[in-house]
Chains A and B, each alone.
Chain A
């Protein structure tokens, strides 16, 4: 890797970005799966409200999220006071704070593909499994998961990629600390501001390549799954 023209700070930013995206994606899969399941199954009148709330980060400017997080997680905000009371310190300018921001920011990208996958499930499959006395968890792991793997794949890839591309929120609550909150998008911004264009080019090029590979692999996997389906039927 030494032959690549990245500075140590660039590498730190790349590593941090990968850690942040992986962490946020994991948390989102754990939280988002039951949420998406509930959205797909419920007949509650709350459903449209919850669905709208989940989709909010799609249309809100990141600065809105950044501003509220800064106020809420700050020493005068209730989240900030709670974290301080619990001895966790304060969230802004920390990896934990960035994780909270990323989870909120990438929520729709994980929940929506899962929601769609769960909605598309054949209800008779679930009923058949239930009549065979499979427990709810068993039904989930042996019937639902295999059938919605495409949804999980899309949720994982999109959640990860979207977190990698985060910028506005990070700018507002991150504090730009090398190795702690300075992610790749921030590092590119710094390079541009200090007029180190060649460094900016390399990192930006890396991001372009990453985005292209992600989207290409998604399409290829979709095709592969389609082929599998066609062979099976």
Chain B
């Protein structure tokens, strides 16, 4: 019996030292990062093969609520700086709120080439269902509402609107053809799956509040070195390149990165 206990103890010690090398990072991320962050994760894991990265995507509002209620996420990438700020104010953040990108909204359709359309086109009879993310808790939906209100189209279009629970579901409504057209994140429209089905129309960012995106290390991830490593990796040229490819304007970079990103996305040049 004594021998058995010793073996167990040795095994436990060996296991705990081994796990110090391989760490798990659990990330909560806004749905607009669905493709960009997956690519960054692939690049990160290649550089740090011992770390295990798990990502949960959802609407920023929902994820923020879950973190506030003690959900076990180490990092929170929000589509709106508002949520990490709220969490920081509620003592739920273990780092300062770090802006990582500016988000842009676009008009996109599976059946029409949206690059030939404008917001005014949405009034046309042929667009029966227009999908946007739910403005009450999805930042991209809020910006879509602002842009439509600023264009004096909100009241006219309201009867035609359907609401996705988050921006990825909104894109899915349009992609499946159930909604004729909609307003989604540029980052999603630039995904190869979606961009091959039609171009997009970039909505003037003067029509809405800037969509400043930020992330925090949560109190849950405070002592997780792998989470800190991943957070630092967001500054790595490889990660920044991926973010630019998906149409995000990065902090400290000129807005014209979008134009170049647009070109590389459409020509497929890497």
Contacts and interface: CB of A to CB of B under 8 A. Distances in A.
B136 A190 contact: yes
A205 interface: no
A35 interface: no
Interface string A167-187: 000010001110000000000
Contacts of A192: 62, 65
A195 interface: yes
Interface string A78-113: 000000000001101100000000000000000000
B104 interface: no
Interface stretch (B160-168, B225-233, B244-252): B160-168
A193 B177 contact: no
A76 B129 CA distance: 16
Contact of A171 (B61, B64, B165): B165
A93 B179 contact: yes
Interface residues of A, number: 20
Nearest to B64: A195
Given A70-B176, A76-B177, A93-B179, A190 B134 contact: yes
A126 interface: no
Contacts of A177: 161-163
B77 interface: no
Contacts of B178: 70, 73-75, 90, 92-93, 175
A193 B131 contact: no
Nearest to B180: A75
A74 B176 contact: yes
A194 interface: yes
B65 A195 contact: yes
Interface string B129-151: 10100101100000000000000
Contacts, number: 58
B129 A93 contact: yes
Nearest to B166: A193
B173 A175 contact: yes
B31 interface: no
Contacts of A73: 178
Contacts of B62: 192-193
Interface string B61-77: 11011001000000000
B59 interface: yes
A71 interface: yes
B128 A193 contact: no
Contact of B177 (A75, A175, A194): A75
Contacts of A75: 111, 177-178
A220 B164 CA distance: 42
B165 A176 contact: yes
Contacts of B64: 195
B163 A176 contact: yes
A48 B111 CA distance: 43
B5 to A, nearest CB: 45
Contacts of B136: 190, 193-194
Interface string A127-164: 00000000000000000000000000000000000000
A180 B173 CA distance: 17
B61 A175 contact: no
Contacts of B68: 195
Contact of B134 (A71, A93, A176): A176
B178 to A, nearest CB: 4
A74 B161 CA distance: 17
Given A175-B178, A176-B163, 13 more contacts: A70-B176, A70-B178, A73-B178, A74-B178, A76-B177, A90-B128, A90-B178, A175-B164, A176-B134, A177-B161, A177-B163, A194-B61, A194-B137
19 contacts: A70-B178, A74-B177, A74-B178, A89-B128, A93-B162, A93-B178, A93-B179, A171-B165, A175-B163, A176-B165, A177-B161, A190-B134, A190-B136, A190-B137, A193-B62, A193-B136, A194-B136, A195-B64, A195-B68
Enumerate the 10 nearest inter-chain pairs by beta-carbon distance, A residue then B residue, closest first: A175-B162, A193-B137, A176-B163, A75-B177, A194-B136, A92-B178, A194-B137, A93-B162, A193-B61, A193-B62
